[in-house]
Amino acid sequence: MPDSQEPESIRLRIRREAGGLLGRLREATAPLLAGLRDHRAWHWASERWATSRWFRFGGYALAGFVALNLLLWIAVTRNLPSADSLLTYQPPLPTMVRGVNGEIVYSYARERRVQLRFVDFPKPLINAYLSAEDKTFWSHGGVDYTGLAGAVIDFATKVGSDERAKGGSTITQQVAKNILLTNEYSVVRKLKEMILARRIESVLTKQQILELYLNEIPLGRQSFGVQAAARAYFNKDVGELQLHEDAFLAILPKAPEKYGRANFASQAIERRNWVLDQMVKNGAIDAATADQAKAQPLGIVARRAETYDPSTGYFVEEVRRRLIAEYGEKAEDGPNSIYAGGLWVRTSLDPQLQKAAQDALQAGLMRYHAGRGWAGPIAHVDIDPDAWQGQLVTLNKSISYKDWRVGLVLSRAGGQGTIGFADGTTAPLIGLPDAMKSGDVIAAGPAGGKAWSVRAIPSVSGGMAVQDPRSGRVLALQGGFDAGLDSFNRATQAMRQPGSTIKPFVYGTGLDYGMTPASEVLDGKFCVYQGARFGQKCFVNFGGNSAGSGNHTLRWGLEQSRNLMTVRIASEAGMDHVVKQIERVGIGKYPPYLAFALGAGDTTVLQMSNAYSALANNGIQYAASTIDFVQDRNGKVIWRADTRRCNTCNMANWDGKPMPRLASRGKQTIDPRTAYQVVHMLEGVITRGTAVVLKDLNLPLFGKTGTTTGPTNVWFAGGSQNIVSAVYIGYDQPRSLGGYAQGGTFAAPIFKQLVQSTRNRWDTRPFVAPSDVHMVKIDRISGRRVFDGTPSDDPKSSVIWEAFKADAEAKRSTGLEDLAKQRDALIAAMRRGSRVQTGGTAAAKPDASAAPDAAPSIAPEAAVVTQ
């Protein structure tokens, strides 16, 4: 059969089959229709239909009415939500963030709600709501038809006016509206609400409906549900409310934003007392109890934003970013939404260390900025005289430094003006800089009396991270001067050159490849041929010294942060090995150019802190983590940082079995012997090196300073056995900090303040050497072994304990008299400076067969001078 005939054949078959079906239907209904035709009513109706025009008109009208109702029913019920969905309904709940001690430190939410079970709601509170909203709740089937009739009459009397008719909705209807429908004010929505209410009553018990209602109802002040409202209006839990407070909460569904305001207090009291009267009428309380409750004032607390410790701002913002990356930001993204999923997030935040880190960094930035004057406004707005408060609130700027506040310059005349604050108050402003103008958003502090004066927020910024090296847990993050001004986290997001803080990993690579802390390396001229294009590059020490000071031990070179010694060590150990070690500890992935041995590559404060954690922990390194675990709203752990499994923890019989032990999460990124040797040398940085400002802390600390070319950034990284920290200072748009700025003078004092304010948290035990590291007495200057001297804590002591790997102990020995002569000669040579014979040599040129522009051993554009 041709293709063109196929569709017609199919149509014919369909018509044939449909005709057969209709025939069978007629056969099946024929007896019924015959019975109807034989009935008297049928004969009477047939006669009337044939003879009466009005009868036919009534029939048509009835049919039209039925059809109209059918169409209306279809229109209303089409796409109507299923009442069954309430069985699994989960209301939007805030995500609660807890610190290391389990206390709530912050919450992420668009709606403030605390979900309770029906048994948790006090009976007086339930009675108050039933008396105010739905006194027949326990008896109706979802719709109160008496109340509905009253609502219809009220609606009819108010048609055409601006007044809104009373709803007449039962609690079940309000559940349908609040959860399944919208707040649209229309007859169609009302019909949908009634239909759903009937369906809900067939799906849920009365207790379940009331539980949904009391958890979901909007009650003003951004609170949803009675528990959130109890906290918002009375700063109590529902179980602590008194009867007059229960009655007040019961009036809020009608006008949640009205009755919570002071200027509507009389109306609120009147409405509250009406609820109490209704409770008496319904038999919930007696008249004497109601009178006693009526005598009470409203007692609502002033409206206030939910407050948390402002020092946690940068930390909780970092946690939020990590949660967004894991679960998504929008409420529609599923049950683990950050703003609606009701997650419980246990973090590693230590409130004491976080506050100390904020205070220390703020103090350090203020010290640097001292005397530099006003650096400009936080922001600028075009002032609307009638809405300036809203403009200021919308900016969402705050400050938690001392008694400072963020305000808006409303006007100025000469050196004086008026400042407005977010709470709507204004005050005189004095000491205005010439560059300040109306509309500037600034920081101000009390100046005596009612006046305020301008405060200068530092234009320089910085970041600080504090970690537990034994677990990788981040205990504190401070990403700038104040999180209320700027959410950019310079501890985790800013990429900066670390300068000399990278040198310990260069020296560690040298120790891995045959050197010892006592090995002598030339601090002298060091040049590298970079090919025909770039020629020869010569390095210099900090301060521009390219001549050096002769041969010195690795310890001395690290303590004094000598660039020439560092690049020579990197060259001898091999830059390939150096950059691999730097990558292994997570600082960054760099090409094998010598400039990266001096900190030319970018990294973050947290990455540097985590790298130093490996040194403090015998070379074992853990991934940095701010979140310990995440639970869903039901308490189930859905994510954890520690994913190890204990397969033998649930054995039925423990007799004679060894204790189960989890595998280590840490990764051995540094040889434990090397790690201890580096830490031992870095203790000398604090005893007699570039971080000597920390010596008077009298704690077993290690650390290293860093200063990059310019100097544009200054650093310090270090710590103890149980706490490690890294800190840097620099401008967001890199520029010079001034020639006097060094890591030891600006960054190290910030670390010092952190330790001083949390001294009881820092381990007082000395670092312990691995079993295959031997402590040997050596001469500190020459590195030679001695037998008749006694090491002391004096930083000028000529004899010290030095750490050697068991197979690399110092073999040379000498007496004290010889040591004294050698030391005197070396010191004299150092004093002569440039007259010292450095023996510096340039690297040999490549042979002619090499490409003229082959990759040089230093990237010229990345060259830095560090300390």
CB 490 within 8 A of CB 727: no
Query: What are the counts of helices (DSSP H) followed by strands (DSSP E) for the chain?
Result: 23, 29
* HSE (side-chain half, CA atoms, 13 Å) at 93: 20
CB 467 within 8 A of CB 609: yes
Hey, is 189 helix, strand or coil?
helix
For residue 767, the 8-state DSSP code is P
What is the DSSP track for 517-569?
TT-EEEEE-EEEE--TTT-EEE---TTS--SEEEEEEHHHHHHTT-HHHHHHH
Catalytic pick among 111, 133, 683, 802: 133
CB 497 within 8 A of CB 602: yes
133 catalytic per annotation: yes
Closest CA to 432 of 406, 449, 409: 409
CB 437 within 8 A of CB 461: no
Closest CA to 691 of 713, 726, 716: 716
Q: Angle formed by the axes of helices 287-294 and 243-251, to 10°?
A: 80
Hey, is 608 helix, strand or coil?
helix
Q: Which stretch of DSSP H or E encloses residue 288? A: helix 287-294
Hey, is 803 helix, strand or coil?
strand
* Whole-number Å distance between alpha carbons of 554 and 802: 11
For residue 422, the 8-state DSSP code is T
Q: List the beta strands (DSSP E) in 371-479.
A: 379-380, 405-413, 416-421, 426-430, 440-446, 452-455, 461-467, 474-478
Catalytic pick among 461, 471, 500, 725: 500
* Whole-number Å distance between alpha carbons of 171 and 187: 18
Q: Which amino acid belongs to residue 230?
A: A
Q: Which amino acid belongs to residue 339?
A: Y
* Whole-number Å distance between alpha carbons of 40 and 37: 8
834 catalytic per annotation: no
Provide the β-strand partners of residue 742.
none
Q: List the beta strands (DSSP E) in 185-288.
A: 223-224
- Cβ-Cβ contacts under 8 Å for 468 (sequence gap 6 or more): 348, 475, 613, 722, 723, 724
Exposure of 405 by Cβ count < 10 A (0-12 exposed, 13-18 middle, 19+ buried)?
Answer: buried
Q: Which amino acid belongs to residue 674?
A: T
CB 417 within 8 A of CB 500: no
Q: Which long-range contacts (CB under 8 A, 24 or more apart) does 529-534 make?
A: 529/842, 529/843, 529/844, 529/845, 529/846, 529/856, 530/856, 530/857, 530/858, 530/860, 531/846, 531/851, 531/852, 531/853, 531/854, 531/856, 532/852, 532/853, 533/852, 533/853, 534/856, 534/860
Per residue, the 3-state secondary structure of 212-233, as one string, reads HHHHHCECCCCEECHHHHHHHH
Reading the block at residue 386, the tokens are: 């009638």
* Whole-number Å distance between alpha carbons of 374 and 362: 16
CB 615 within 8 A of CB 668: no
Catalytic residues: 133, 500
